[in-house]
């Protein structure tokens, strides 16, 4: 069992840290909101730290799940960041969805301090985190990823070592590019079926068993038809992720016309007040016939 510092106890980080505690690991947690950290500790045990640096003092492994590049930079190399107190040989695993650029930067910074770094963004949403069924895409050296797998297996259904530093983050961008196109297609299909006055349950039964089937269709067709969008992954976060993909595409020369268009469609839904609604709220911008 490992001595772990866990930084960031949001809708993803909180359940992930909970699985680690249930697996028997010793956790010290940090969250920007100290109240949330205390509530987590009351539920799962473990200690609460007042800063990432304090959380990491005695940790063999530091795991983060925060919000943005700036948040990640602050909790790692900031004035009270975890890298300040991590000991040489320590393992750092980041589950935040951020730019490949900062993942590569942290790898280099960690290497200079004798640390092993893995960028390991996750897919599966809040339900995947709560059920311990996340898909994790990893960038880093093989020894570092193999070491990370030992603890990640307590909350993952699939763990894939994609390549070197930053590869996990670029693979997560691939994931979000795929999802953006699927949700737009699903939104158009649903509105088309409604305009044709079809029985939506029968339509789903007919098409979900063939080539049109997808996770989004299986889990969001019915709720989209009911205008229900209160699920885990918010549009604000999707736009952040698509922005990262578009930024990386400008750097590597890839062309993402559909992704860029769907990103702007999400901006329309934000303007309608849908910032915190699930990504399937994309259908809201297509008016009913």
Q: Looking at the annotation, which residues are catalytic?
A: 172
> What residue spans of the chain are helical by DSSP H?
13-22, 34-44, 52-56, 69-76, 100-112, 125-131, 142-152, 167-195, 200-207, 215-225, 235-252, 257-271
How many whole angstroms separate alpha carbon 121 and alpha carbon 136? 6
Contact 21, 44 (CB under 8 A): yes
Task: Look at the block and give the residue holding tokens 């935040």.
Answer: 96
Token pair of 31, please?
């969250």
Q: 266 vs 30, 169, 216, 257, 263, CA distance in Å?
A: 32, 21, 16, 14, 5
Token pair of 246, please?
């578009």
How many whole angstroms separate alpha carbon 276 and alpha carbon 289? 26
Question: Residue 241 in 3-state DSSP?
Answer: helix
* Residue 181 CB burial class (10 angstroms; 0-12, 13-18, ≥19): middle
How many whole angstroms separate alpha carbon 209 and alpha carbon 73? 45
DSSP one-letter code for 234: B
């Amino acid at each position: 069992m490992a001595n772990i510092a866990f930084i960031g106890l949001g809708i993803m980080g909180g359940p992930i840290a909970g699985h680690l505690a249930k697996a028997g690991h010793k956790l010290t947690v940090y969250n920007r909101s100290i109240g949330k950290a205390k509530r987590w500790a009351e539920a799962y045990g473990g200690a609460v730290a007042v800063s990432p640096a304090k959380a990491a003092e005695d940790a063999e492994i530091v795991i983060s799940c925060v919000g943005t590049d700036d948040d990640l930079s602050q909790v790692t190399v900031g004035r009270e960041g975890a890298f300040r107190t991590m000991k040489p040989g320590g393992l750092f695993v980041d589950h935040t969805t951020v730019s490949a650029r900062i993942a590569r930067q942290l790898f280099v910074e960690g290497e200079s301090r004798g640390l092993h770094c893995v960028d390991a963004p996750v897919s599966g949403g809040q339900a995947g985190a709560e059920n311990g069924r996340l898909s994790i895409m990893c960038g880093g050296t093989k020894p570092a990823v193999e070491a990370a797998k030992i603890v990640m297996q307590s909350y993952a259904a699939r763990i894939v070592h994609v390549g070197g530093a930053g590869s996990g983050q670029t693979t997560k961008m691939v994931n979000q590019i795929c999802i953006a196109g699927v949700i737009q297609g699903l939104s158009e299909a649903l509105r088309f079926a409604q305009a044709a006055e079809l029985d939506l349950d029968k339509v789903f039964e007919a098409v979900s068993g063939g080539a049109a089937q997808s996770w989004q269709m299986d889990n969001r067709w019915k709720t989209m038809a009911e205008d229900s969008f209160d699920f885990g992954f918010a549009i604000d976060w999707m736009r952040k992720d698509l922005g990262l993909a578009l930024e990386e595409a400008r750097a590597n020369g890839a062309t993402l016309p559909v992704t860029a268009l769907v990103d702007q469609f999400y901006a329309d839904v934000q303007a309608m007040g849908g910032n915190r609604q699930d990504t399937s709220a994309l259908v809201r911008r297509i008016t009913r016939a």
